[in-house]
Amino acid sequence: MAWGRYWGWDPKETASLVTWLIYGAYLHARVVRGWRGRRAAILLVVGFAATLFTFFGVNLLLPGLHSYSGL
């Protein structure tokens, strides 16, 4: 709420939302669908890649309110 709005579609906010949704899908797949083994592991790898992109990719490559690269 620092900029007068709750959601502004900033790249960091959006990438963070996507990361949360991936991990939520993983939890849902484990509990409801009973996913185990390879399928669950692939979803976790996708979630970890999204986490890395949120931290490194958005901070260093994309402009926005939450980018700290100074480029």
At 6-65, the pLDDT tens digits run: 777 888 889 999 999 999 999 999 999 988 999 999 999 999 999 999 888 887 777 766
The pLDDT assigned to 3 comes to 63
Residue whose pair of structure tokens reads 């993983």 in the numeric block: 26
This prediction has a pTM of: 0.80
47 domain-assigned: yes
Total domains in the chain come to 1
67 domain-assigned: no
3 domain-assigned: no
66 domain-assigned: no
Three-state DSSP class for 36? coil
Given a cut of 70, whether residue 70 has pLDDT beyond it is no
42 domain-assigned: yes
DSSP string, the chain: -TTS-S----HHHHHHHHHHHHHHHHHHIIIII---THHHHHHHHHHHHHHHIIIIIHHHHS-STT-----
Domain assignment of residue 51, given as a range: 11-61
